[in-house]
A and B are shown apart, each in its own frame.
Chain A
Amino acid sequence: MLLSSAVRWTAGGLAEAYLMDGSDDEALVMRGRPGLLPGVVPAIELTAVRKLFGPVVAVDGVDLVVNPGEVVAYLGPNGAGKTSTIDMVLGLSHPTSGQVSVFGMAPRHAVRAGLVSAVMQTGGLLKDLTVLETVQYVAALFSGPRPVGEVIERAGLAHITQRRVGKCSGGEQQRLRFALALLPDPGLLVLDEPTQGMDVEGRHEFWEAIRKDAGRGRTVVFATHYLEEADAYADRVVMVRRGRVVADGSPAQVRAMASGRVVRATWPGADTGALGALEGVSSVEVRGSTVLVRSDDTDSVARYLLNQTSARDLEITAQGLEEAFLALTADDPVGAGAGRAGAPS
């Protein structure tokens, strides 16, 4: 990883980088990192990965092991560092510090070996080529790719092979990117915000194609900020916020975090300490003269507010997955004096 990107693009540099990574990996395995299974080379292994763009910290110390066969959602709001992380996994950029390996090798080497491929965000296609030409073009870049007809079939593009890419809908273009990603029959498929900007129908068809494919045991990692996609299609959800992993578990565990409701009331000079001490309260937030209380037991919060304080204009709303997601991933207001965490002081 000490090599500059310019050197990494030459064949000699690649071999060198590969050797360097190989030796580093052995050391990592011996340290016995959590998540590593004995005798299994992880599909992705990130070790203390940081990525800086000038003064901006895009990825801030991520440790992550994805084992072969897992379908992982990398979930976070825009700007959480999802694409930066994916770029490093694909060898498109290099970490400022830390290690990235894909099937135990340097990412660029894994790409050249056809072990990893990706469905990128919007763009990345030539509008003046037909669907068939695009697949033929990329197929010619791999040695021993899957047959062109097969990937077109699997991506659900058989009826539009002669259509110009520029005339394809967003969903069709995304399935074309998926077809391209299938060509090397990769062990790891990385999808970066694959359904962004797609309509409901397109989104459904796209995930249908991915789901069929993932059933064969391919490792799939997809970045998304749609919680329902993570819930429906992943067996593991990794939540990121401001370049750090804030939660990592099954979709069920994520849903559990989302239980509870929110009480909103007007209460100038709210006693946040007293609210935080109530049973079941997970957080208290003050916004001007309004106070927001998240709790598993909003009834007792309401009772307390109405009976024992001057709070008025009560409103109780259910906290969905979306709110849990926001609570976990939203940025803290910088320098805000209001207590946000629920722990009573």
Chain B
Amino acid sequence: MSSGTEVARVGPVERRPPPFGGLSLPVFVIEVRRLLRNRRTVAFTLVLPVVFFLIFGLNKAYASQRAGSGNVSAFIMISMALYGCVVATTGSGATVSLERAAGWSRQLRVTPLTPLAYILIKMATALVLGFFADVIVYAVGIATGQPSMPVHVWALSAVVVWLGSLIFGAFGLFMGYLLPSDNVMQVMGFVLWLVSFGGGLFVPLSQFPEAVRQGAKFTPLYGLNQIVHVGLNSTPFDWTWVLNVLAWLAIFVGGAAWRFRKDTARV
């Protein structure tokens, strides 16, 4: 370099790595703004569960029949809120697939951001969209005046739906790392649809033959769907539901971590 000595020279000035591995509010805010800017995702996530609720949850044939401490309409509302939340968190987790394809993940790896902080930001963003999905279904439920259950069950089920759906953020991450970006969303939509049937979100499992009913107990949404209805149902709490949730959480987190390692090893 032929620069004169009077020029302020750029030397190796070492900086402290950022606290929390780069976990920061501005990044979270930008991620949320980005997510809400994607109108198709937002509409799909927020509108579909409401439409399902309006179709299935208000059917005069059974809507006001008793179900545990409430009625069938309340039962279906909780199921649809869970469906919306799960679509939100899965989709948000799966955006890593697009970011990986765009090379953004690679760009981030030349910053102090740690993978854990990155995943935490993704999950927090997923919770924001999940929150809207949850609240909108419940708001529509209240507006129709059909669902009926004790006040504490309204509140408790809403919170359990919201936080419980985070498990599927890990599922989204796993799929996002596993599948190519161009069809990850389609595959995911189909898988979630199947899993929702298996969990009894769309049709009560009692409507299926015994063999199907037994098999359904091992699907990823079964345990969570039972747990979110705990306040409403009169059936006693079953620890196998928790086992189902924890087992699938372990599979999703383990799968995401496995694919993530493969991804970072490859350049």
Contacts and interface: CB of A to CB of B under 8 A. Distances in A.
Task: For chain B, give the interface size range.
Answer: 35 or more
B27 A120 contact: no
B66 interface: no
Contact of A120 (B14, B25, B103): B103
A141 B104 contact: no
Contacts, number: 149
Contacts of A127: 102
Interface string B224-259: 000000000000000000000000000000000000
A141 B110 contact: no
A124 B104 contact: yes
A138 B111 contact: yes
Interface stretch (A20-28, A85-93, A314-322): A85-93
Interface stretch (B15-23, B74-82, B187-195): B15-23
Contact of A92 (B18, B22, B106, B113): B106
Nearest to B264: A5
A9 B264 contact: yes
22 contacts: A6-B264, A41-B12, A68-B11, A90-B110, A93-B267, A113-B14, A113-B112, A115-B13, A123-B104, A124-B102, A124-B104, A126-B104, A136-B26, A136-B30, A137-B26, A140-B22, A142-B15, A143-B17, A144-B16, A185-B13, A216-B8, A217-B1
A214 interface: yes
Interface centre among A122, A126, A177, by most chain B C-beta atoms within 10 angstroms, is A126
A43 interface: yes
A167 interface: no
Contact of B14 (A115, A126, A217, A218): A115
B238 to A, nearest CB: 37
Contact of B10 (A126, A136, A141, A185): A185
Contact of A114 (B25, B33, B112, B261): B112
A216 B3 contact: yes
Interface of B: 1-3, 7-19, 21-22, 24-27, 30, 33-34, 37-38, 99, 102-104, 106-115, 261, 264-265, 267
B106 A70 contact: no
Given A90-B109, A126-B99, A143-B19, 16 more contacts: A68-B11, A103-B12, A112-B112, A115-B14, A120-B103, A120-B107, A122-B103, A123-B103, A125-B103, A129-B30, A129-B34, A140-B24, A142-B15, A187-B12, A217-B9, A217-B11
- A contacts with B: majority SS: loop
B112 A142 contact: yes
A128 B37 contact: yes
B12 A188 contact: yes
Contacts of B264: 5-6, 9
Nearest to B38: A128
Contacts of A137: 26-27, 30
Contacts of A117: 110-111
Contacts of B14: 103, 113-115
A237 to B, nearest CB: 15
Nearest to A121: B103
B38 A187 contact: no
Interface in A213-242: 214-218, 235
A87 B33 CA distance: 32
Contact of A140 (B13, B26, B106): B26
A43 B11 CA distance: 10
Nearest to A123: B103
Given A120-B106, A136-B26, A137-B27, A9 B10 contact: no
A133 interface: yes
B1 A126 contact: no
A187 B27 contact: no
A304 to B, nearest CB: 45
A137 to B, nearest CB: 5
A235 B1 contact: yes
A342 interface: no
Contact of A217 (B10, B16, B18, B115): B10
